Structure 1
Amino acid sequence: MENNNKKAKKNKKRSSENPTTKNPNNNNNNNNKTKNNNDQKTNNNNDTKNNNDKKNNNNKTKNNNDKKNSKNNNNNNSASKKTTNLKKSSKTKFGIFCQGLFWCGASVAFVYALIPFIFWYFPEMCTFMIFSNRFRWPPLGQLTKPSEHGLNHTRNFYVNPRRNIQIGVWHVLPQNLADSNLGYSEYEQSLSEHKSPVVLYMHGNTGTRAGWHRIEMYKLFSALNYHTITFDYRGYAESTGVPSEDGVVEDAQFLFSWIKQRVSSDTPVILWGHSLGTGVATQLAKNLCNQGTCPTTLVLEAPFTNIVNATYHHPFLIPFNIFKDLKLKLTSFVRRSGVEFASDESISSVTCPIMILHAEDDFLIPIALGKKLYDVGVETRPKDSGPIKFVPFKAVHGYGHKHIHKAPELPGILSSFVQTCVEKGF
């Protein structure tokens, strides 16, 4: 017993002297605690790392969002700038347009305000506007080469009505002679050898004998097997001189005589005038009838009664419609130019058959003027005169002032009228 107690005391003493000495269970517990602590540290580190990663991700996301927002803001800013610039540009363009429109209107108003003074102080300007011979269309193209204008069977030549006046002329062959390969020297001979009708064509103001609608009319005559003699009055195209009423009528009369010298006595010769050319043709027909050498027939396409009435109804003077008295005064100034082309007076002396062609939608010379000229002819011509015929063309066709050549019935109307005139001995 005593020994056991001594051992116990010794062990107790040793344990108290060696406090670091542990029993196995305690060591295990301590190890577990240490391990748990390490695990907790590891977990804490992992959590910290995860938190840091999350923060980094959040920062990246935030940076990306900031970049996107910045980009979107830049896009929005650029879009808004573009919109603003477009608005400013459209406003600027609209402002420029309005300014241009204003100045154009002011210029036109200024010109129209000057017209009464121009007509009064410069009557020669009225003459220039009536003939408009310097307005050439087409501007290019050789009149010496009719083939460039689609007329392959056509001769260009020149005649001299006066010593110092030279006018350009085309002779278009009828279709039945187009393939005969005639030399230029044989063109005149064909006039006497073949008794085909001959058309002396007098064109309107502006342009030349090469005007497109005029060429289409020549082709129509050729298809009917008619010769066509067409020319440019003095002062037009390459023809020399200055146009005047008596001068252009003299040119036409010279060519009529030229034709009559080369055709047989029974060859029909037709005078055809268009627009201003109707004034020339009517006065020429009057002169010829008074001399006893009437043409076979007179055809007037889009005619007027006289220059004063034609001027009054011209679209150029439409703005003066609100000032009727001023418009009448303006048109009276035209008389001072010395140009009248008074067809309503001349027609009373024309005893040959007359046919008047006019489109209802003619905006330059209203059909009412053509109808009035017809009425004057019916009332004032001698009783033994040839027939007078008025042929209107419906507005729905859109022939206007210079495209009656498009009417499919025109060849039949013309050939029938000419044939009737020939059969009745006119």
Structure 2
Amino acid sequence: LFGTLIAALLIFAVIFIVIPVIYRYSYVFQRNLLFLNFVSVPVDFKHPEKLNLMGARNFYVRTDDNVTIGVWHILPSKFATSGSQKDTTDWLNRGDPIFVYMHGNSGNRGTAHRLELYRLLQKNNFHIIAFDYRSYGDSSPVEPSETGVVNDSKHVYEWVKLKAGSSPIFLWGHSLGSGIASHLLDILEKQKEEIQGLVLESPFNNMSDEIRSYPLARIFKFLPWFDYFFIQPMYDNGLRFESDVHLSKVSAPIMILHAEDDIVIPIDLGEKLSDSIKKARISQNSNSPLIFHPFSKNEGLGHKNIYRAAELPLYILDFVNNSLAYNQQRS
């Protein structure tokens, strides 16, 4: 009996004392759990047609801190007649809307559910610019940070802007990518860039609330030192992803997509984000479109499969058209 008690105490100490201490004082541990950039499946990035992605071209963009970013440009279906690797850059300035897509943690731009979303957008005749942040896919093996991945995204946007002419540019962020896209939009609007709209798929409002809601964190939430060991160190290390703050003053139209059965990022975090943006826009007398589309748990879409929703193409088309009309009227 005594031995069992000692074993139980040791297990308790390891789980509720040792692990929190390691987490608090190890930036590497925090970073790896957040970005999961070590979780990936090999992809032949130079030949996206091998993934049944037609009309896609692989190329690279270099950032101001010497990071090389792997990128795919996926043509609208009306232009995507083959898997040709010819330079398709000139197609960007023909007026068709462009989505710059920021993926979530783990995997790369060739992960299965991301490919399905590209195909859906392609089918509806949008350009897609999909890329991997530093340390993901075939991009430079430089350790990520919030500042770093946002900077990568900014350089990809700048490349698109340079080639797009007057074609409308939208941002799309999924999961962790929603925090990156929100941060990027804040930066771009402060620089007077004209972003036509932002789509947030399965987003959270800030890293603090996301940590509290994360399934693995629930076993620690009763601890009086939870914030000190799990939240404060993330914020101290600049891993905040405060979308509610970044989107509080932006003027671009926003559409939020969230499934009721998302257990990775619960829908209430998407609702909190929507509410915070709505309150900010009311206080600023802004009538910029803000749309929240929940998806019933009966559809079984979870965190990664909203692309399967039958109503999604209509939601996207309506958002694009309404955003373009709003921005034209505003200008």
Question: Higher helix proportion, which one?
Answer: 1
1:115 aligns with 2:15: no
> Partner letter of residue 26 of structure 2?
F
Aligned residues of 1:134 and 1:206 also touching (Cα < 8 A): yes
Q: Secondary structure at the match of 1:147?
A: helix
Deviations 1:286-331 (A, max 9, x none): 111111113100010011111121111111112224x242333322
Aligned residues of 2:56 and 2:85 also touching (Cα < 8 A): no
Paired residues in the alignment total 316
Deviations 1:33-64 (A, max 9, x none): xxxxxxxxxxxxxxxxxxxxxxxxxxxxxxxx
Q: Which has the higher contact order (CA 8 A, sep 6+)?
A: 2
Q: Report percent identity of matched pairs.
A: 38
Aligned residues of 1:359 and 1:367 also touching (Cα < 8 A): yes
Residue number among 74, 80, 84 corresponding to 1:172 in the alignment? 74
Q: Secondary structure at the match of 2:327?
A: coil
In 1, the alpha carbon distance for the partners of 2:274 and 2:306 equals 18
1:409 aligns with 2:308: no
Q: Which runs of 5+ in 2 are unaligned?
A: 1-6
Residue correspondence of structure 1 range 177-188 to structure 2 within 5 A: 177-179=79-81, 184-185=86-87, 187-188=88-89
Shift of 1:402: 0.8
Q: Secondary structure at the match of 1:425?
A: helix
Residue correspondence of structure 1 range 342-421 to structure 2 within 5 A: 342-381=242-281, 382-384=284-286, 386-421=288-323
Residue correspondence of structure 1 range 31-110 to structure 2 within 5 A: 110=14
1:232 aligns with 2:136: no
RMSD across aligned C-alpha pairs, in angstroms? 1.9
Q: Which is higher, the Rg of structure 1 or of structure 2? A: 1
Shift of 1:271: 0.2
Give the aligned partner of residue 232 of structure 2: 332
Deviations 1:363-420 (A, max 9, x none): 0111111000000001113323511111100011110111000001000011011111
Give the aligned partner of residue 183 of structure 2: 283
> Partner letter of residue 254 of structure 1?
H
In 1, the alpha carbon distance for the partners of 2:319 and 2:223 equals 41
Residue number among 301, 309, 319 corresponding to 2:201 in the alignment? 301
In 1, the alpha carbon distance for the partners of 2:246 and 2:173 equals 14
Residue correspondence of structure 1 range 114-153 to structure 2 within 5 A: 114-136=18-40, 139-153=41-55
Q: Secondary structure at the match of 1:208?
A: coil
1:156 aligns with 2:58: yes
Residue number among 100, 105, 110 corresponding to 1:210 in the alignment? 110
Give the aligned partner of residue 264 of structure 1: 165
Q: Secondary structure at the match of 1:234?
A: coil
Q: Which runs of 5+ in 1 are unaligned?
A: 1-102
Shift of 1:247: 1.1
Deviations 1:112-144 (A, max 9, x none): 6532111222133212211111111xx233122
> Partner letter of residue 251 of structure 1?
D
